[in-house]
Amino acid sequence: MNTSADELEQIARRASDAAPAWAAISPSVRAAALVAAAEALEEAGPRLVAIGMDETGLSQARLTGELKRTAVQLRLFAEVVLDGAYLDVRIDEADSDFALGVRPDLRRYQIPVGPVVNFAASNFPFAFSVAGGDTASALAAGNPVIVKAHSGHPSLSAHTAKVVAGALEAAGAPLGTLQLISGQEAGVAMLKHPLVAAGSFTGSIRVGRMLADIAAARSAPIPFYGELGSVNPAFVTQAALVEQAAAIADGFVTSVSASAGQFCTKPGFLFVPVGHGMGERLAAKAVAVDEHRMLNPGIATGFRDRRSAILNTPGIIILAEGMLRFDDFGQGWATPTIVSISVADLLAQRETLTDEAFGPLSIVVEYNPDDDLAAVADQLFEGSLTGTVHMGSGEDTARLRSLIQWLTQHAGRVLFGGWPTGVAVSPAMQHGGPWPSTTNDTSTSVGTAAIARFLRPVSYQGAPQELLPEPLRDDNPWAVPQHRNLAGDSLTWGDFARPVDVHP
């Protein structure tokens, strides 16, 4: 089951051998290979979904939707490859009038970093696993990918890797463009391998931190992008409560309980004004949720312990107790647990309560009209992937602006209404916030901007046209966007009179 040391060596070498060819391949071929992978996934869909249901306990509807998302993601990155803007081509024309003296001809773009090891997630067996977002973005950037399969869905991982690697190679990708390894030790060994140039990960704070430390401690350190734990606080203003208490209560429970709450974007805290009157509706909605299997016995055990600690914390009031039971196979089955607490008690118990509870549990926090929510949040939380505010239509107060400012400083995505568990795969998505929600908040793991993680810049100075890579050439054979900085530009610096600041 675990990949042996010999196999790891062969896999690393194969990835390294594949790297130059995959990096140099034309955009149309690389894009077509990504589309071929998407088509192959879709074709194998029903078979893969059945394996996934068995291994993860996730529903057919959920997995079918996730597979579609995974295929669309590959198609979206094909568009990114064809577009070419991600190469960030900058051409400085030679300039004898440059402010600092003669400037040479300089041409800079982004090149692939080299083989990437991607640690797959338990909770997204398609979208954050073998052919998921990290794989798609690394492949699109021109890097071979080695996926460390998650132990929670080994058969699905093997089948997916076969389907996708086969499709890539049939479409012209070199052998070794996508490979699979298994076992925690194997993953660690690969992250340490000198031929590996970057790492990505989706999972717990504990494991993510361990891997980030390993990447940083290498004799040659490499970039490591870990997406870890997040509590995703949501805040409801008095005005929002007046306008739409019922919709908020219903949406909240749905967001907390979908897929047994096993989302990194699950709202872990909902701040509502005291006297909100939502208790009964929250309870009724929660009780109506069918029990859902948890992903694996380890996650279920972790949830059992976390839930129990929360239920036994002073100040906690149970709105919907929910339950967790284990079946004969050791699998956990859960219904949602919703509790409430006052701001004062939460502050007093923050050591116990503010860590993520991975599963269908959330804490409703009752605040007083004069509480400064930004100040309260600042005492409670580190970084999150998301932060949400529900406000009244047209509401705009200093307190609200201060809360939005706090959310901006502590999250990667700030939602105005809605719930964070839907994550659009699009150019403007940001999935990644301050520690501990990620190990590195300067990038995203969802959306097309993710491609930037697996690139590094290089400049060519004074190169003859025929020795330049295609994207940097004047005849621009790949038709990529080129930003030219013209000779003489610096002569117009300091022309600050233009009206760029009409609302100072």
Active site residues: 227, 264
Scan for tokens 């809605």, then name that residue. Answer: 418
Per CB under 8 A, 100 contacts a copy of itself: yes
Per CB under 8 A, 463 contacts a copy of itself: yes
Q: Identify the residue among 170, 456, 474, 488 touching a copy of itself (CB under 8 A).
A: 456
Helices (H), 383-462: 398-410
Whole-number Å distance between alpha carbons of 363 and 371: 18
Per CB under 8 A, 441 contacts a copy of itself: yes
Q: Which residues, 255 to 284, sit near a copy of itself by CB under 8 A? A: none
Per CB under 8 A, 485 contacts a copy of itself: yes
Scan for tokens 């839930």, then name that residue. Answer: 307
Q: Rounded to whole angstroms, what are the CA distances from 107 to 95, 411, 473?
A: 13, 35, 9
Per CB under 8 A, 408 contacts a copy of itself: yes
Q: Identify the residue among 61, 217, 314, 398 touching a copy of itself (CB under 8 A).
A: 217
Q: Rounded to whole angstroms, what are the CA distances from 253 to 130, 273, 398?
A: 30, 17, 29
Q: Identify the residue among 5, 318, 458, 491 touching a copy of itself (CB under 8 A).
A: 458
Nearer to a copy of itself, 308 or 461 (CB): 461
Q: Identify the residue among 56, 335, 455, 471 touching a copy of itself (CB under 8 A).
A: 455
Q: Decide: residue 266, CB within 10 A, 0-12 exposed, 13-18 middle, 19+ buried.
A: buried
Per CB under 8 A, 449 contacts a copy of itself: yes
Q: Identify the residue among 5, 247, 288, 479 touching a copy of itself (CB under 8 A).
A: 479
* The one segment of 218-226, 269-277, 290-298, 345-353 that binds a copy of itself by CB under 8 A: 218-226
Helices 279-287 and 238-257 pack at an angle, to 10 degrees, of: 20
Do the Cβ atoms of 262 and 299 come closer than 8 Å? yes
Per CB under 8 A, 493 contacts a copy of itself: yes
Do the Cβ atoms of 257 and 336 come closer than 8 Å? yes
Q: Identify the residue among 213, 305, 378, 474 touching a copy of itself (CB under 8 A).
A: 213
In DSSP terms, 340 is beta-bridged to: 317, 364
Q: Identify the residue among 133, 223, 251, 332 touching a copy of itself (CB under 8 A).
A: 223
Q: Identify the residue among 107, 148, 293, 307 touching a copy of itself (CB under 8 A).
A: 107
Per CB under 8 A, 457 contacts a copy of itself: yes
Minimum distance between the CB of residue 468 and a copy of itself, rounded to whole angstroms? 9
**Assign residue 258 a region: left if phi > 0, alpha if psi is -120 to 50, beta otherwise?**
beta
Q: Which residues, 20 to 49, sit near a copy of itself by CB under 8 A? A: 20, 26-29, 31-32, 35
* The one segment of 300-308, 309-317, 366-374, 449-457 that binds a copy of itself by CB under 8 A: 449-457
Scan for tokens 């239920």, then name that residue. Answer: 311
Whole-number Å distance between alpha carbons of 154 and 339: 35
Whole-number Å distance between alpha carbons of 270 and 282: 12
Minimum distance between the CB of residue 111 and a copy of itself, rounded to whole angstroms? 7
**Angle formed at CA 56 by CA 53 and CA 61, multiple of 5 degrees:** 45
